[in-house]
Amino acid sequence: MPDNPSTPFALAGHRLLALQGLDAVRFAHAQFMSDVAGLPDGHWQWSGWLTPKGRVVALFALLRLDAQRLWLLLPDADPELLAVQLRRFVFRSKLAIEARPELAVSGIFAADAQARGAAMAMRGGDSVTLDFGGDGGVRTLSIAPASGASSGAAGMGASPEPPAWREFDLAHGLPRLGDEQLDRWTPQQLSLDRLRAYSVKKGCYPGQEIVARTHFLGQAKRGLVLLEGDAPLAAGGAVHVGGAASGHVVCTAGALGLAVLPLERDSSAPIDVDGADVRERLLLGGLER
C-alpha cells in the first residue's frame, strides 16, 4: 500500500486506445469477447481481443462513453500496436482507432462519490472515474488530460504503479499479461468468467467458437490459482503439484503469482514454483463488472 493511500498516484503502464465513429460499437461488438452492444452508455466492463484459436491477445477495461465513443483501458498492452492490428479489420466501417497518449491514468485507494460498480463518473471533457474496488477494499481509477491530472498522477512515464495496485489485481483474479504471455491462454484458462469478461451468447467474434465449445461442452480443465511464496515469484515459473509438473506462473506481484493449473488436483498436495514452496490462497471476488 502506498505511504498515503488517500493520495493519487500514477498508473504509468495503463494507457488508452479510443474507438470513435458511427460504427464504433458495432465494430467492437464483432471483434471483442464481451457484449459491447448490451453495455449501457456511461458504463464499463472487462473485455478482451482473441486470436481465431481463442487465445487472449489483449485484456482490458472497455468504457462506453456514448453510442459513438469507446475507450479501451490497457493495463499492459501497447495501444499503438493494438491500433495497427485492429485497423486491419475496419474495412468500410465508419470509425477511427487512435491511441490517446495525452490522457493520464491515476489511481487511489479510496472510494469515489459517484463511480459505483460498472457505472462511471463522467466529469466532462475527457475526464472519467471508475470504481476499481472489490472484496479486498475500495479503489478508484481516474482518466484525465495530462495537463489537468492531479499532481499525484504527473510524470506518467517516470515511475511504475505502486506494488499494492498490482497485488490487488492479482488477489482478485485479474491477470496482468506481459508480452511473453500473449496468444497463449484461453479466457477459460485465465478464469475470466470470474470477471464476466466474455460472452458465450452474443454471437460471432474471433475465437468465439473455441470459447463457446469449451463452455457448453464443459471442457474447461484448467484455471487460475493464486499462489503466495516467501520470496518474489517469477512469471513463467514452472509449477509442480505433488512433485508433478502441472502448469506455469502467468504473472506476479512480489510474492504473489497467478498460475494456470488443473481444476481437478489433489488439494492436499504440496505446491512449488521452480522448487520453492508456495501456498495457495483463495481468490477474492467483487472485481467483476
Nearest alpha-carbon partner for 229 in 252, 245, 262: 252
Residue pointed to by grid coordinates 475527457:
126
pLDDT for the residue numbered 218:
80
pLDDT for the residue numbered 5:
60
Q: Mean pLDDT for each consecutive 10-residue tract of the chain (289 residues)?
A: 71 96 98 98 98 97 98 97 98 97 97 97 95 98 79 45 96 96 96 97 94 87 97 97 97 98 94 97 98
For the segment 40-97, what is each residue's pLDDT rounded down to a tens digit? 999 999 999 999 999 999 999 999 999 999 999 999 999 999 999 999 999 999 999 9
CA distance 239 to 259: 8
Give the amino acid at 206.
P
For the segment 122-139, what is each residue's pLDDT rounded down to a tens digit? 999 899 999 999 999 999
| Domains of the chain with CATH codes | 9-158 (3.30.1360.120), 179-281 (2.40.30.160)
pTM of the shown model: 0.93
pLDDT for the residue numbered 4:
53
CA distance 53 to 51: 5
Percent of the chain with pLDDT over 70: 94
